[in-house]
Amino acid sequence: MALAGKQISRATQVAGRRMAAVRPALASRVSRSARLNTVCKVHKICVLPGDGIGPEIMEVATKALSVAGGKEGETFEYKQCLIGGAAIDATGKPLPDETLEVAKQSNAVLLAAIGGYKWDTLPSAQRPERGLLAIRAGLNAFANLRPAIVPRQLADSSPLKRELVEGVDILIVRELVGGIYFGQPRGFGTNEKGERIGYNTDVYSEPEVERIARVAFEAARKRGKRLCSVEKSNVLEVSQLWKEVVIRVGADYPDVELSHMYIDNAAMQLLRNPKYFDVIVTGNIFGDILSDEASMLAGSLGLLPSASISGSGPGIYEPVHGSAPDIAGKDMANPLAMVLSAAMMCRYDLAIPKVADRLEGAVNAVLDAGLRTADIYKAGTPNTRLVKCSEMGAELMKHL
């Protein structure tokens, strides 16, 4: 391999092992990937560049994916579709029917970012974010896996002290197609005083909680055997149900230490003592908040990938960060999280881990070389150099 002799960082090695931990709970998905790969070496990828910096980072990722795949005899067939604001501008809908159909017929979905100031004044049902929620629901991508690992090269870039973040290795398992983002009823109305109100419904069924809990327990079983369930059961009935079901499922995993924490305390402990956590399982809105907070342990959202998967069908692979409309088109974006998302896709939907190894190795190599985009650049740090998105992409190609 072209990467022979180059040591892949502990962070990327651990990320691979840790994310592999969910495979037992999703055996049908792995079997599906294996069958696909024995039939054909052409992998059909639904590419969704989206909005803001999305097209810039997607260009880097697909180029890197093609080069890495070529080295291993793998071919990718890309079908680019619209989602989010770009789809609204072209079709009036945040998720066109064609996009969802292409996604369903693909082996995996690679998504960059959606949204932006341009569409902030649209009615709620027509905003770009509805497209993201709709494709998750349409593919039944119920489990969102977000690793929060601090690369050794960037421990000093964290806003927290090195001794707090060095060695941090957390996996957040977030339920993705239920809870307050999808609950009904929702909307606007008036109260008994005639005042205008907005309302949403936070609702989970027992089966929904059980299936995400099992994914989390399986992951914890292959890691440090510690699972923390985060909710707000002192206030919310939906959280009381959540806790009851997680405890019941936990009886099937006596080797996993189960703890419980309220969301407000969990948010504090992520900053105070992040090494306490191994695997966190939580609902949609709490997972949204905690995963973004955890990503900043590494100093930037620009380095962290995520996977949204189901028991069958294609998964959605996307960076944790947003569309960053303020820097869109300025060649300032960090493409590394997008590239690492492509690596996760190769490892867990396409079952071609050698391609994932190449992508992760190239990311590690550019960080070792001191290359930093603006989000992870710290002036005065020895042996580092500020680069643009396109420059980072070019350097990745050299290492591939």
Catalytic residues: 181, 232, 264, 288, 292
Do 306 and 287 meet the contact criterion of CB atoms below 8 Å apart? no
DSSP alpha helix (H) spans, the chain: 10-20, 27-39, 54-71, 85-91, 97-104, 128-138, 162-165, 206-221, 237-250, 263-272, 284-295, 336-348, 353-368, 389-399
Instruction: Report helix, strand and coil shares of the chain as percent, to nearest 5.
Output: 50, 20, 35
Residues 6+ away with beta carbon under 8 Å from 323: 50, 51, 52, 53, 54, 84, 112, 113, 114, 115, 116
- Residues linked to residue 149 through DSSP beta bridges, in sequence order: 169
CA dihedral 331, 332, 337, 338 (to 10 degrees): -20
Q: Which residues have a Cβ under 8 Å from the Cβ of 244 and sit 6 or more positions away?
A: none
Contact assessment for residue 72 and residue 37, using Cβ atoms and an 8 Å cutoff: no
**What is the distance between the alpha carbons of residues 96 and 28, in angstroms, rounded to a whole number?**
29
Which amino acid type is present at position 33? S
Burial of 348 (0-12, 13-18, 19+ CB in 10 A): buried
Chain centre to alpha carbon of residue 366: 22
CA 258 to chain centroid, in Å, comes to 24
**What ranges in 72-116 are assigned the alpha helix state H?**
85-91, 97-104
> What does the radius of gyration of the chain's CA atoms come to, in whole angstroms?
21
Task: Choose among 183, 315, 291: nearest CA to 236.
Answer: 183
Strands 187-190 and 196-199: antiparallel
Tell me the two tokens of residue 260.
């419980």
